[in-house]
Chains A and B, each alone.
Chain A
Amino acid sequence: MKFTKINRNYYGYFFIAPFIIAFLIFGLYPLYNTLSLSLTDYTLMTRKGEYIGLQNFTVLFADQLFLKALGNTWLIWLLNFIPQIGVALLLSAWFTNNRLKIKGVGIWRAIFYLPNLLIPVVIAALFNSFFSFYGPINQFLVRVGYQVEAVHYLQNVEITRAVVIFIQWWMWFGQTIIIVMAGMTSIPVHLYEAAMVDGASAAQMFRRITLPLLKPILIFIFVTSLVGGMQMFDIPYLLTDGRGAPSNSIMTNNILMYMKFASSRGHIGAASAVAVLTFIMTTICALGIFFVLRDKDDTVSSKPKRSWFTKKSETK
């Protein structure tokens, strides 16, 4: 029996083999290919490229548009992430509060999550119609007397950027609530009872018990949201003209990459350079934050079970 069991562990390799093969072919090689294309002047027109070293990268760093795209991507992500996590923490605290006893928590959560399931491109097109010159926002504001006449909202830099940020927040806060709540309900109740006996206030309990124990989940949300945010494309691409208008206010890394790719000659060498820089930046930030913050966390003894986070002890 013991003999067969040892042998059978090798079956694990057969089970993970398809994944590894597909990863090598469709994951790792394209990554390598993107990297090597970024060192060439390959275009779709010529279908070949010469090795030009780091020239694509030096050109990019001298390009105001790239720096602008980089800044925009970070700004749009940060300004949607902060209210997203804020609203999620607040609503989760309310939903899990025993004293408030909010009714229909499941239904509220389900409704707040709905926008996340809609096609992002559709949402962008929808908000484009809403904010257009003849759109409902103008109609409403003129009718209630807030505006004298209709305004071209999507020609205004700040408003357009705010619309993108709002859409991102609108699409993602429901999901964040669900994850944060799952984390909160997994915190052992006896911790709060002990704190209450010691006379802690609700605010103290939130700061000293809830937040530290939620840290793994908050880091997870932070990292996955960052990775998504740095690749933002659909919403800013379809909200306006697909070139970051007005005045490049919603130009993001991926839109810039696409523009180089879809330019008349198809500069995929230059497009790859944008991808490589964004990739390196995002990966360093995401993995750095994840691993640095994770290890400091070991002092908390009774933390919630999160097997994706704590190294799981070997099961027998």
Chain B
Amino acid sequence: MINNYKFNTSLIRFFVYIVLIFLLILIVVPIWILLVNATRSTVEIQQGLSLLPSTHLVDNYNVLQNRGLNMVRGFTNSFYLAAVSTLVTVYFSMLTAYGIVVYNFKGRQTFSNFILVLVMIPTQLTIIGFFQYMSRLGLTDNYAALILPLIANAGGVFFSKQYFESMLIQDLIDAARIDGASELKIFHSIMLPLAVPGAVTLGIFAFVGSWNNFFTPFILITSVEKYTLPMLVRSLRGDVYRTEYGAIYLGLAMTVVPVIIMYAIFSRYIVSGIAMGAVKE
């Protein structure tokens, strides 16, 4: 009886590992082929499948650069935009969330419910009205149109609110008040430093969200010098590169590698962050 039970458990366990390995292959193989093909020549890619890297990385890079696609500039643009977006999102989300959690003002519960409703509303759909409005203000083709709306980032506030609620902070605030600190100073010099782990997690999501965003810049940004990486990837699909498979794969790989490296370093923050706030971009 006992033996039978143990046997069953190990049989199920065996089956579970089979399923996990199958899923692992589904995840890793496409990404691996992408990285490997970035190092293979177009001829090699057309001749057959390989899981081993080749030696044409530099050739592919030259093809990629010589056909008018400036990946380095796309990289810089994306990085700049993502960095500023991250700072704005983290600071203002934390500021708003702190206001909700710490002060018992009239309408607090309503405002807090309102944030939750905003998380569940398809805000991307207002892009047409946003575009027309920005073009009236002369702000199309300007990163400001992508950054300023992040001051009111409902997902970020939602996450930060969860975070502040999980920190017991009232005693610290009271102590600081007795010492005569102003409310804004308490936030800046006591609470924000304490909330750094939460800020890092939120920051990673904000960064990745901006880095991966295609739709909004695609609508708002028109001049080629301001293209972000995802917009350049769209150009990669164009006629100029039609048969240069090696260069296409390299262009794609270049956008993926930094994210994978960042994930290898921060995965702990990221996984715990999703569990906590379920921020969905």
Contact = CB atoms under 8 A, between A and B. Distances in A.
Given A12-B104, A19-B152, A178-B271, A122 B252 contact: yes
Interface string B244-267: 010011001001100110010001
B148 interface: yes
B122 A231 contact: yes
A114 B276 CA distance: 18
A312 B116 CA distance: 13
A179 B46 contact: no
A146 interface: no
A121 B96 contact: no
Interface string A101-140: 1100010111111110111111001111110001010011
Contact of B129 (A32, A110, A225): A32
A205 interface: no
B271 A13 contact: no
A192 interface: no
Contact of B99 (A12, A119, A136): A12
Nearest to A278: B125
B116 A121 contact: no
A224 B278 CA distance: 9
B131 interface: yes
A272 to B, nearest CB: 5
Interface stretch (B58-66, B194-202, B209-217): B209-217
A272 B237 contact: no
Nearest to A273: B128
Given A12-B99, A126-B34, A175-B274, A121 B121 contact: no
A35 interface: yes
B2 interface: no
A271 B128 contact: yes
A143 interface: yes
A61 interface: no
Given A12-B103, A125-B252, A286-B121, A30 B129 contact: yes
Interface residues of A, number: 104
B11 to A, nearest CB: 11
B152 A102 contact: no
Nearest to B115: A19
Contacts of A8: 103, 177, 183
A118 B257 CA distance: 9
A279 B126 contact: yes
Nearest to A17: B99
A227 B275 contact: no
B121 A231 contact: no
Interface string B203-231: 00000100110110001000000000110
A74 B178 CA distance: 57
B230 A224 contact: no
A100 interface: yes
B26 A140 contact: no
Interface string A1-43: 0001000111111111011111101110111111111000010
Contacts of A118: 31, 212, 256, 259
Interface in B83-108: 92, 95-96, 98-105, 108
A308 B162 contact: yes
A117 B263 contact: yes
B129 A139 contact: no
A138 B187 CA distance: 58
A80 interface: no
A15 B236 contact: no
Given A227-B120, A308-B162, A11 B99 contact: yes
Contacts of B33: 130, 136
Nearest to B116: A308
A223 B229 contact: no
A261 B212 contact: no
Interface string A270-289: 01100110110011001100
13 contacts: A15-B100, A18-B95, A26-B130, A30-B126, A33-B129, A113-B271, A117-B263, A119-B212, A121-B212, A175-B274, A227-B122, A271-B128, A272-B128
Given A34-B125, A37-B128, 19 more contacts: A11-B99, A19-B92, A22-B92, A22-B152, A30-B133, A34-B129, A100-B13, A106-B271, A108-B24, A109-B271, A113-B270, A115-B31, A182-B276, A220-B278, A231-B122, A254-B125, A278-B122, A290-B120, A312-B165
Across the A-B interface, give the 7 residue pairs with the lowest CB-CB distance, nearest first. A15-B99, A12-B103, A34-B129, A33-B129, A22-B151, A12-B105, A182-B275
Interface of A: 4, 8-16, 18-23, 25-27, 29-37, 42, 87, 91, 94, 99-102, 106, 108-115, 117-122, 125-130, 134, 136, 139-140, 143, 170, 174-175, 178-179, 181-182, 220-221, 223-225, 227-228, 230-231, 233-234, 238, 254, 257-258, 261, 268, 271-272, 275-276, 278-279, 282-283, 286-287, 290, 307-308, 311-312, 314-316
Interface of B: 9, 12-13, 16-17, 19-20, 23-24, 26-28, 30-31, 33-34, 37, 45-46, 48-49, 92, 95-96, 98-105, 108-109, 111, 116-133, 148-149, 151-152, 157-158, 162, 165, 170, 177, 183-184, 187, 208, 211-212, 214-215, 219, 229-230, 233-234, 236-237, 245, 248-249, 252, 255-256, 259-260, 263, 267, 270-271, 274-276, 278, 280
